[in-house]
Structure 1
Amino acid sequence: MIIVTGATGRLGARIVDRLLERVPADTVGVSVRDVAKAAHLAERGVRVRAGDFTDRAELDHALQGADQVLVVSPSIRDPREFVRATRAGLDAAVRSGARRVLYTSHQMASPSSSFTPGRNHAESEAYLAERASAHGVAWTSLRHGFYAGAFELFVPAALRSGELRLPADGPVSWTAHDDLAEAAAAVLTEHRELSGATSPLVGPELLDFADVARIVSEQTGSPVERVVVDDDAWKAEAVDGGMPESVAEFTLGMFRASRAGENAVTDPALQTLIGRAATPARTVLAGILSWALPVSRHR
């Protein structure tokens, strides 16, 4: 049985959908915090069990009978809580008796990353390698590119103001959630015994936010200007606008990392896994504009 944690989240839900296109539902299990949110999966024949990373017994039950476990990294910004939760999930996956444990990491995984999650993922990869080796379990770390869905955080406001006001940045190989979900499903079902950390699973082109502003202007017919804002000034604006200070500081890490060149990576690995061209960032932008533009015009 293939078991996926976090299967009602933005990435996990997509992975399960792609799996169900490839294998019978009764060979797929999910571990979720709220089983009610996975009722639609249970109706399709997927095994749904509660599995909170804070409850060892519950998590062990959720992963029981696994042949492969995909631990989707939790969406937790606090570094200490992220590490604690991730280790709990990885420990449970190794304990389950699965022959292989997979983990959704990041292409910036490095102890020296300017982005906190990059350092966190590097620590999690090292922990998984140690634990898996000690128990004779194969492991794979899927090093994801930066999610193009992050445009949703910035583009709607830019449409309203005509300005994309953000800190200085650098080129990023923005990557679509759907592509990464398809890649995970391929690895889980096509006997692709990728060992250790993968090559970067990233989108096909490098774009900075000046490029994003240009593409948005082209796609909408309304000019959006890229305005570079000092880090401290942007953080103050973000907090004044209602963003928690911790989230603003977290977000700044993305810009620091990109201007240090940590995201300036392209690689064919994602295309190879999914057997087609990866989704361009401008396609993701068009999808966001399809709902954000009417809202901005209404306001």
Structure 2
Amino acid sequence: MILVTGASGQLGRLVIASLLEKTAASNIIAAVRNPDSVKDLAEKGLQVRQADYTDQNALVAAMQGVEKVLLISSSEVGQRAPQHQNVINAAKQASVSLIAYTSILNADASPLILAQEHVATESMLAESDVPYVLLRNGWYSENYTMSLATALEYGVVGCAEEGKFSTATRADYAEAAAAVLLKDGQAGKVYELAGDNAFTLSEYAAAISKVSGKTVTYQNVPEAEYTKILVGAGLPEGFAAILANSEVGASKGGLFSDSKDLSTLIGRPTTSIEDSIKAAL
């Protein structure tokens, strides 16, 4: 039995879709805060169990009879460490044989503020005595293509200088997670999951120009100014600051890797940024 936490989220749903291509629905448990949000999964034959990262007892109950758990990192930045600790504690109580955790690329050497809670979680796993495997996910291509309309109108703005991003799509990362969950002998492994072809934001702008036929340029601005731009676009100030810090981290190599772990796991090249742009258009 494989339990997927955060099963109603974008990544969780994609992982389940990938698992369903290779194993029976009866082997998958969708753990969600609100079971009504995944009625469609229940109709496909999956077990749906209520669980909340903040409720360790509910997590223990949800993990009964479970062999492997995919711990998809919480979306609540700043609260991730204690929430993940609850999941790890529950897995230990339920005698789970493997936790697969979606960490961040280059976690132990990352300059990104976002990496701190991932590093803390990796340490918790190491101290837990529960066998685990680390899925260190790089940046999602969708982090940029979801704002494609804005980029087409105003150009690409950021503070990453000429830092490279080794992105892949959520579906790529989800397929890799499913592959690991279905393999034996994964305990102790660390996968640095990154797209095959990295790009700078200048190259991203050029790719948009090529695909769309409209000239788009990249404007690099100071971190503080980029934070203000994101706040002006409607993002909460704290989250805007984290995104700006992530771009500065990218300028220092934090979101680049030449690892081929991702394409090896999924058995094909990762989705190019050009194809992601085409899909978004």
Common fold: TM-score over 0.5: yes
Describe how 1:72-111 pairs up with structure 2 within 5 A. Answer: 72-77=72-77, 79=78, 81-110=79-108
Q: Percent identity?
A: 30
**What is residue 7 of structure 2 aligned with on the other side?**
7
Contact 1:31 1:49 in 2 (8 A): yes
Q: Deviations over 1:242-298 (max 9, x none)?
A: 222111101112111100111221111112111112211221122112xxxxxxxxx
**What is residue 20 of structure 1 aligned with on the other side?**
20
CA-based RMSD of the aligned residues comes to 1.5
| Selected match of 2:121 from 100, 120, 124 | 124
Supply the distance in 2 between the matched residues of 1:2 and 1:238 (Cα, whole angstroms).
38
The code of the aligned residue for 2:132 comes to W
Q: Deviations over 1:178-218 (max 9, x none)?
A: 11111111111132x22335231111011011011000001
| Selected match of 2:131 from 132, 138, 147 | 138
- Secondary structure at the aligned position of 1:116 is classed as coil
1:167 aligns with 2:195: no
Distance 1:147 1:241, change over 3 A: closer
Contact 2:160 2:249 in 1 (8 A): no
Deviation (angstroms), 1:105: 0.8
The code of the aligned residue for 2:111 comes to S
**What is residue 212 of structure 1 aligned with on the other side?**
204
Distance 1:159 1:90, change over 3 A: same
Contact 1:109 1:117 in 2 (8 A): no
What 5-or-longer segments of structure 1 have no aligned partner? 290-299
Distance 1:190 1:114, change over 3 A: closer
Deviation (angstroms), 1:87: 1.3
Q: TM-score, normalised by structure 2?
A: 0.95
**What is residue 275 of structure 2 aligned with on the other side?**
283
| Selected match of 1:156 from 139, 149, 153 | 149
The code of the aligned residue for 2:102 comes to T
Contact 1:200 1:266 in 2 (8 A): no
Supply the distance in 2 between the matched residues of 1:177 and 1:122 (Cα, whole angstroms).
21
**What is residue 214 of structure 2 aligned with on the other side?**
222
**What is residue 48 of structure 1 aligned with on the other side?**
48
Describe how 1:230-269 pairs up with structure 2 within 5 A. Answer: 230-269=222-261
Moved more, 7-16 or 260-269: 260-269
Supply the distance in 2 between the matched residues of 1:199 and 1:42 (Cα, whole angstroms).
31
Supply the distance in 1 between the matched residues of 2:233 and 2:255 (Cα, whole angstroms).
27
Q: TM-score, normalised by structure 1?
A: 0.89
Moved more, 276-285 or 254-263: 276-285
Contact 2:145 2:276 in 1 (8 A): no
**What is residue 200 of structure 1 aligned with on the other side?**
192
**Would you say how many aligned residue pairs link Structure 1 and Structure 2?**
280
Contact 2:112 2:254 in 1 (8 A): no
Supply the distance in 2 between the matched residues of 1:200 and 1:84 (Cα, whole angstroms).
24
Supply the distance in 2 between the matched residues of 1:63 and 1:249 (Cα, whole angstroms).
36
Supply the distance in 2 between the matched residues of 1:240 and 1:101 (Cα, whole angstroms).
39
1:63 aligns with 2:60: no
Moved more, 36-45 or 213-222: 36-45
- Secondary structure at the aligned position of 2:180 is classed as helix
The code of the aligned residue for 2:103 comes to S
Deviation (angstroms), 1:155: 2.5
* Consecutive aligned runs of 4 or more in structure 1 exceeding 6 Å deviation: none
Deviation (angstroms), 1:55: 1.5
Supply the distance in 2 between the matched residues of 1:117 and 1:232 (Cα, whole angstroms).
17
Deviation (angstroms), 1:238: 2.4
Supply the distance in 1 between the matched residues of 2:119 and 2:253 (Cα, whole angstroms).
17
Supply the distance in 2 between the matched residues of 1:117 and 1:195 (Cα, whole angstroms).
25
- Secondary structure at the aligned position of 2:30 is classed as strand
- Secondary structure at the aligned position of 2:234 is classed as coil
Supply the distance in 1 between the matched residues of 2:56 and 2:183 (Cα, whole angstroms).
31
Supply the distance in 2 between the matched residues of 1:228 and 1:4 (Cα, whole angstroms).
39
**What is residue 190 of structure 1 aligned with on the other side?**
183
